[in-house]
Structure 1
Amino acid sequence: MRKGEPFHIATGLPESEICAAEDAKNFAPEVSWFTFCCDYVRDHWPDIAAKTRDGITDGLATATLAMLGSDRDRPSDEDLRTAIRWAMIPRNAEVEPPVDLARSIDWLKAHSRPVADLQDAKLADQVAKQVTRLLDGSLAASDTARRRRRALNTAMEYAVTEGILPRNPLTELKRKRVAKNDTVDPRVLVNPEQARELLVAITYVGSWDRARGRRLQAFFGTMYYAGCRPSECVGLRAADCHLPETGWGRLMFDETLPVVSKQWTDHGKRHDPRGLKQREREAVRPVPIPPVLVQMLRLHLEEFGEAEGGRVFGNERRKPIGASTYSRVWEEARELALTPAQVLSPLGGRPYDLRHSCLTGWLNAGVPPAEVARRAGNSVEVLYRRYAGCLDGQEDAVNRRIEAALE
């Protein structure tokens, strides 16, 4: 009545529901959730990055725990989740599953519910809630839950396109809307003095011969003085560095090397070469660098030389640096450079916080936001949204303006 929609005389139902009932006759209820997940990932695998593959399979594997029709002889949730993630990898379709996963895969094939069952709003709600939980039942981090929901929603849209579902069941669920908070916590920012102390402390990590820390001092310095992402530092080539003897230099970023598990890459290596984040593959971003970083990079190349592929930074075997490697060095450096209270605080808790500190420093120094965004590889909109709470030194001026207006 509210929509002004006519009713079907024979059944008393609104015409929209009659159409939905007619559409339901054309579904393929025999398509199981297990088969659907494998088909969906196989169709999208060639066109998506390794980290995206990881995220999609994580979301679908978590949703699988709510799409099982029986609990009899059910393997553990951890085994089921691991098994279906392995089965979703296209190249595994033609090989026998590992012995420790075979039973779980057979059980999943036998007990996965039809995808068409998601027309039941109660089941759809259970699946939607499942992706926001960890295996122990606790709530997942907001970013994790958001990524899983996005993966599940995209899969449901694919099911609609393939005629497996008449409509996306997730769109009809009433979910509490929580504002996304992706602003940078001001407590993680290090000031210039703290940054210098941390960069010095890094050189004391590990023995002198192995140079675990000394090998990474310029790596962390590039993040702090050039405002780049860790994956951009890993992908930086010596040929793309202009390092004059005096004055400012320039770095040219055109590639990233994000780290992901080998099973999600096509080449079986942990680093997946990609273009700049959210840019065309051929995009290049020039970033001017101050003299202090120029000298730091010159000394680094003189002592350690170029790594594999002409990269500036590498490990002891001249291979690309892994995330676990530089994260462990950073944790040890924090304990050397900071006070015990600061070590327990969020201050510089992650290497990525060096980038946050750099961009915040540029903004507080009065660099135009458009120029900061260009150097950082962000949009101005994202820059303002993420760093609005970190701008310092403007409160007194704003208060004076408001006071003058009130007078």
Structure 2
Amino acid sequence: MNTTYDVRLWAIREHKGKDRTTGKARSTYRVRWLVAGEEFGETFQTRALAESFRAKLITAQREGVAFDVASGLPEPMARELNSRSWLEHAIAYVDMKWPGSSAHHRKGIAETLTGATMALLSSTGRSPVPDATLRRALGTYLFVKPRRDAGPPPDGLATAVAWLHKNTVKIAALEEAALVRKVLDALALKLDGTAAGASTVARKRAVFSGTLRHALEEGHLNSHPMKRVKWIAPKKDDAIDRRQVANPDQADRVLAAVRTKWPELAAMYESMYRAGLRPEEALGLLKHQYERPKVEGEWGWLHLGGATTEVGTAWTDDGKVHEHRPLKHRSKDTVRPVPAEPALCRALDWHIENFPPGLDGRLFVTRRGPGGKYKPTRGQPVTANARSNAWRAAREAALTPDELAAGIAPDPYSLRHACVSTQLNAGVSPTLVAEWAGHSIAVLFKIYAKCLYGEEKEAFRRMDAFRAGQAATLRAA
């Protein structure tokens, strides 16, 4: 924006004339001013309106506010006049982020911006469609770049899309702290009105902050609005609750139940429990990435080169349900070696012999066909539903009612927690454990500090010995 402080204001000029409809005498009032030598003017129907507008110009001039050379208005007024709507900016942000984002992150951005947009609807008109339809128009069309680029919205969303384009606030309105707080409050709730989890709120807050930062970079805002808002997010506890971490007996019982009813999934769960793989890393495991031990009964290696996530056709570049991406927080060429203990090697060998890999070499693929028969596969990764349903049923079959009530190993990811906790308690160097798990040491201790049973026992032993020594000294005295 090209601005100047060279401003002169003239007195209001009254123009006497006749009303075109009634023919009666009528006056209009024109405010005139110069900005960098160029004349600007605005005409009003009443003197009061003209005086109010002129007073705003005078106040801006006296307070040293720069004037926009193009529009002749004080910078804040010019910015609001030229401001794009929130929806226009949100769509531009999606388009900017889309090429470099993973499918999962694209989906997260769309979910966050949908919630934010519903909190930033203007009050200029009542929506002709239900909120659920507005959300669907945002989350399945407006914030999904390929679908929007492909053409007009489907008939069921056309009215909602048209209404949304006309009824969101200007991006400049987010200079108001109250409006920003309204959005943050909305993002902290689920659709049913209950509080969202701390990690979910933190993720959505980061996306919203990034959207505002982009508006600042584009010149639509003077400063980042969230810096002026005192808003306390829900507390986030990243540490694992050790009461829910399965001990070896519990893990073995659940894995045995899996081997009995879902043998094709057993080695996948074993890789999470005995090598600490994330579920998406297990799904991405290829046959050539498994290095068998040279001598049976010794340790082997898994050379992880990527991960496979199930996110939906709308968010992937190739329109498939799954996305194959690099390891978490790693470049696409990074390989993370992870040791495979003998029990895992036996499980993998048995799996490969009985369930040959898919055509792309993927070890864990969908295999069940009609009637529960095993059918050849082209390598479609095991679905999230299949993984979670099998795990839920195996827990119910293997754990006691008290263990189920305590929430032992609530999901397959719990096997990774059990693996890392076991390694730490076995005395393995934290540096090695972090390297194998794909964590930094700081993150490792932040998440698993509560699972270090051995350190607590040693601390208790030392305290008991110290107290006993104190008591003996007192008795001797």
Pairwise same-fold verdict (TM > 0.5): yes
Instruction: Please say if residues 83 and 104 of structure 1, whose CA atoms lie closer than 8 Å, have aligned partners that are also in contact.
Output: yes
2:452 is aligned to: 391
Deviation sequence 1:207-239 (CA, Å, 0-9, x none): xxxxxx111000000000001100000001100
Instruction: Please say if residues 189 and 353 of structure 1, whose CA atoms lie closer than 8 Å, have aligned partners that are also in contact.
Output: yes
Per-residue deviation, 1:343: 2.4
What's the TM-score once normalised by structure 2's chain length?
0.77
Change (3 A) 1:178 1:295: same
Per-residue deviation, 1:19: 7.6
Aligned residue identity for 1:97: P
Per-residue deviation, 1:400: 4.3
- Listed as ranges, the matches of 1:204-353 within 5 Å are 204-205=260-261, 213-244=262-293, 245-316=296-367, 317=377, 318-353=379-414
Instruction: Please say if residues 199 and 236 of structure 2, whose CA atoms lie closer than 8 Å, have aligned partners that are also in contact.
Output: no
1:44 is aligned to: 97
- The reply on whether 1:87 has 2:142 as its aligned counterpart is yes
Change (3 A) 1:177 1:403: farther
1:359 is aligned to: 420
CA–CA distance in 1 between the matches of 2:78 and 2:440? 45
Instruction: Please say if residues 216 and 224 of structure 2, whose CA atoms lie closer than 8 Å, have aligned partners that are also in contact.
Output: yes
Aligned length: 390
Change (3 A) 1:74 1:321: same
CA–CA distance in 2 between the matches of 1:119 and 1:271? 40
CA–CA distance in 2 between the matches of 1:73 and 1:67? 13
The alignment partner of 1:333 has SS state of helix
Which one of the candidate residues 186, 190, 194 is aligned to 2:250?
A: 194
1:77 is aligned to: 131
- Listed as ranges, the matches of 1:362-381 within 5 Å are 362-381=423-442
The alignment partner of 2:454 has SS state of coil
CA–CA distance in 2 between the matches of 1:249 and 1:14? 77
Gaps of 5+ in 2: 1-57, 68-72, 368-376, 471-477
Task: After superposing the two structures, state which structure 1 stretch, 384-393 or 337-346, moved more.
Answer: 337-346
CA–CA distance in 1 between the matches of 2:165 and 2:171? 13
1:35 is aligned to: 88
Higher Cα radius of gyration: 2
Instruction: Please say if residues 116 and 183 of structure 2, whose CA atoms lie closer than 8 Å, have aligned partners that are also in contact.
Output: yes
Instruction: Please say if residues 365 and 380 of structure 2, whose CA atoms lie closer than 8 Å, have aligned partners that are also in contact.
Output: yes
1:98 is aligned to: 154
Aligned residue identity for 1:188: Q
Identical columns (%):
35
Aligned residue identity for 2:258: I
Change (3 A) 1:75 1:345: farther
Gaps of 5+ in 1: 1-9, 206-212
Aligned residue identity for 1:393: G
Per-residue deviation, 1:119: 1.3
Instruction: Please say if residues 201 and 234 of structure 2, whose CA atoms lie closer than 8 Å, have aligned partners that are also in contact.
Output: no
- Listed as ranges, the matches of 1:2-151 within 5 Å are 23-27=75-79, 29-70=82-123, 72-85=126-139, 86-94=141-149, 95-151=151-207
The alignment partner of 2:307 has SS state of coil
CA–CA distance in 2 between the matches of 1:78 and 1:285? 43
CA–CA distance in 2 between the matches of 1:130 and 1:145? 10
Aligned residue identity for 1:35: E
The alignment partner of 2:120 has SS state of coil
Task: After superposing the two structures, state which structure 1 stretch, 364-373 or 317-326, moved more.
Answer: 317-326
Task: After superposing the two structures, state which structure 1 stretch, 390-399 or 58-67, moved more.
Answer: 390-399
Aligned residue identity for 1:277: K
CA–CA distance in 1 between the matches of 2:61 and 2:229? 21
CA–CA distance in 2 between the matches of 1:137 and 1:153? 22
Per-residue deviation, 1:335: 1.0
Change (3 A) 1:359 1:19: farther
